[in-house]
Amino acid sequence: MGGKKKFYITTAIDYVNSRPHIGTAYEKIAADALARFHRVMGQDVMFLIGTDEHSLNVQKQADKLGLAPLKYCDDMALEFEGTWKKLSVSYDDFIRTTEPRHEETVRDFFNIMHKKGDIYEGVYEGHYCESCEAFLKDADLDDEKCRVHGLRPSWIKEQNYFFRLSAYSEKLLSHIEAHKDFILPDIRRNEIVNVIRGGLEDISISRSSVSWGISLPQDPKQVIYVWFDALINYVSGAGYVSDREKFKTYWPADLHVIGKDITRFHCVIWPAMLMSVGLPLPRTVFGHGFVSIEGEKMSKTRGTVVYPVEIAETYGADALRYFLLREIPFDRDGDFSIEKLETRYNADLANDLGNLLSRVVTLAEKKLQGMVKRKETASDALDNDLKKSAESALNQLIFSMESFAIHEAVRSAWDFIQRCNRYIEETAPWALMKDPSRQERFEEVIYNLVESLRWIGGMIFPFVPSTSERLFEQLGLGAGYVKKIVLKDFSWDAGPDVYHVVKKDPLFPRLEKK
């Protein structure tokens, strides 16, 4: 680690019974922005994502296609990994629940909990939603249907193994009370506290009617319940059995990023499981909102499912990343539409950012042959205000990212981009370049703008990484410059003595109205 502070971030692992959609992509992109931010803050980041492959729905989908479940999972895992790479999701490890390192960890958890007396045999009888792959109580139903999927659950009766979740009510409440950032945002925290205070019941953690899964060490005829299995990925991916030194370095997780619909699993069952095996709890679980499509919930039958790869192929991955991170608050629901995306693309990306870079580089090439020398900050009020605006925007961005207000962090970067555009109008460098007596002032203005662009490249890197790299290339810094960035140590005049700027293709060519 070299003395760096560690930051271990995870997302929910995804069912492979369908292709990744825009909601799945939002979670991964938001988590990636946080991971990239902590890297450019100089931290040692471990970013884990993966696939949940022991689902009953996965087995059904494999049967439907005439494939063995593992073969189907192999194919889908490749599709998920390919999708995240196309969207510039910079994960450090991809965990699959069919991997030996994971299965071994699950069995180890089961054995420890069983020896402790926290697991016992019993009969489960009640509601089971096959779409949620979850056992439901009457309180979870609306008009006798699953609240999430609108489907009537099955009634099952099985001989299962149970986890004594009820034994952990007080410990969970005490932990939540003592750690205010354990569950965020506050609305999720309040929901979970109410659930626990309403009384926790022991839960079934095995299935006897399912064959696709990890078999129980004590009873090979039963398989581990998919949620018990899936939650453990966060420690198996951190090296619980495969790399104990790595595990000691990164556990506990600093941040679990999950959808708001699965907070009960992550904020009640998962911490109780960790308490049972004697491991520290994650520092924060953040339950983000949902993405709707033009005001409607995503639905295959209604044709309101949007696939992120198709959007990225049309508009570029960074355009999609920017829209989702700017438009949708991390702690609330948000809406996606092509019209809104195109508006943001032209106004924010093509005009505000792309045009700024193009104007500055064009002026530098035309008058200075692309060589922009460092100029000490002049006493000019406009110059000083520009510098202060850069520092203020960066400080606000850092504060917002550390507070999980990603959309506000993006806005801080764009506030400074817009300030730079106003600075151009205020200083009128195109007029300065025509006046031989104002040559020195022209060089100062262009230097201030190029230095501002260096700051912008650093600030936008977590959100639109490819764009940041292309911007640095046009400043003559090279795409690899991002590896040298430490945002918290950013200072004015810390760039090269001479910038060798070079004009290349526009960052975001304007979209024509269709």
Is-contact 17 55, C-beta < 8 A?
A: yes
Is 376 inside a domain boundary?
Answer: yes
**How many other C-beta atoms are found inside a 10 Å radius of the C-beta of residue 383?**
18
Among 142, 200, 205, residue whose Cα is nearest residue 167: 200
pLDDT beyond 90 at 209: no
Is-contact 393 327, C-beta < 8 A?
A: no
pLDDT beyond 80 at 176: yes
368-418 pLDDT tens trace:
999 999 987 666 899 999 999 999 999 999 999 999 999 999 999 999 999
* pTM across the whole model: 0.93
Look at 150 and 26; give whichever has higher pLDDT. 26
Q: Which domain holds residue 473?
A: 343-500
Is-contact 339 408, C-beta < 8 A?
A: no
Q: Which residues contact 490 (CB under 8 A, 6 or more apart)?
A: 394, 455, 458
Residue type, 237: G
The residue assigned the tokens 């662009």 is: 453
**350, 357, 495 from 505: Cα distances, Å:** 12, 11, 23
Q: How far is CA 343 from the centre of its chain?
A: 24
Look at 209 and 352; give whichever has higher pLDDT. 352
CATH of the domain at 481: 1.10.730.10
Q: Which residues contact 220 (CB under 8 A, 6 or more apart)?
A: none
74-120 pLDDT tens trace:
999 999 999 999 999 999 999 999 999 999 999 999 999 999 999 99
Number of domains in the chain: 1
Average pLDDT over residues 350-366: 97
> Helix H segments across 11-99?
22-40, 56-65, 69-86
14-69 pLDDT tens trace:
999 889 999 999 999 999 999 999 999 999 999 999 999 998 888 889 999 999 99
Is-contact 455 410, C-beta < 8 A?
A: no
Cis peptide before 185 (omega within 30 of 0): yes
The predicted structure's pLDDT at residue 483: 87
Is-contact 334 327, C-beta < 8 A?
A: yes
The residue assigned the tokens 């099985």 is: 158
pLDDT beyond 80 at 131: no
Is 126 inside a domain boundary?
Answer: no
Look at 157 and 293; give whichever has higher pLDDT. 293
The 8-class DSSP code of residue 198 comes to T
The residue assigned the tokens 């948000």 is: 334
**Phi, then psi, of 502 in degrees rounded to 5:** -145, 130
Cα 501 from Cα 185, distance rounded (Å): 44
Is-contact 69 48, C-beta < 8 A?
A: no
408-423 pLDDT tens trace:
999 999 999 999 999 9
Q: How far apart are the first and last CA of the chain?
A: 51
304-336 pLDDT tens trace:
789 999 999 999 999 999 999 999 999 999 999
The predicted structure's pLDDT at residue 152: 79
**80, 237, 479, 496 from 70: Cα distances, Å:** 15, 19, 39, 53
The predicted structure's pLDDT at residue 117: 97
Cα 140 from Cα 127, distance rounded (Å): 10
Is 18 inside a domain boundary?
Answer: no
Cα 448 from Cα 22, distance rounded (Å): 39
* Parallel, antiparallel or unpaired: strands 119-129 and 154-163: antiparallel
Is 4 inside a domain boundary?
Answer: no
Q: Is 186 exposed, middle or buried (0-12, 13-18, 19+ CB in 10 A)?
A: exposed
The 8-class DSSP code of residue 355 comes to I
Cα 327 from Cα 402, distance rounded (Å): 19
The residue assigned the tokens 């203020």 is: 392
Q: What percent of the chain has pLDDT over 90?
A: 82
Is 276 inside a domain boundary?
Answer: no
pLDDT beyond 60 at 514: no
**66, 133, 150 from 130: Cα distances, Å:** 20, 5, 12
The predicted structure's pLDDT at residue 1: 43
Over the chain, what is the mean pLDDT?
A: 93
* Parallel, antiparallel or unpaired: strands 44-52 and 6-11: parallel
The DSSP annotation for 207-274 comes to ESS--SSPBPSS-TTSEE-HHHHHHTHHHHTTTTTT-HHHHHHHPSPSEEEEEGGGHHIIIIIHHHHH
**Which string of b and e fits 34-62 if b means at least 16 CB within 10 Å?**
bbbbbbbbebbbbbbbbbbbbbbbbbebb
Is 470 inside a domain boundary?
Answer: yes
Q: What is the Cα Rg of the chain in Å?
A: 26
Q: What percent of the chain has pLDDT over 70?
A: 96
Is 321 inside a domain boundary?
Answer: no
Is 486 inside a domain boundary?
Answer: yes
Instruction: Name residue 216's beta-bridge partners.
Output: none
The 8-class DSSP code of residue 17 comes to S
Among 269, 325, 312, residue whose Cα is nearest residue 20: 312
265-308 pLDDT tens trace:
999 999 999 999 999 999 999 999 999 998 888 766 566 789 99
Instruction: Name residue 288's beta-bridge partners.
Output: 259
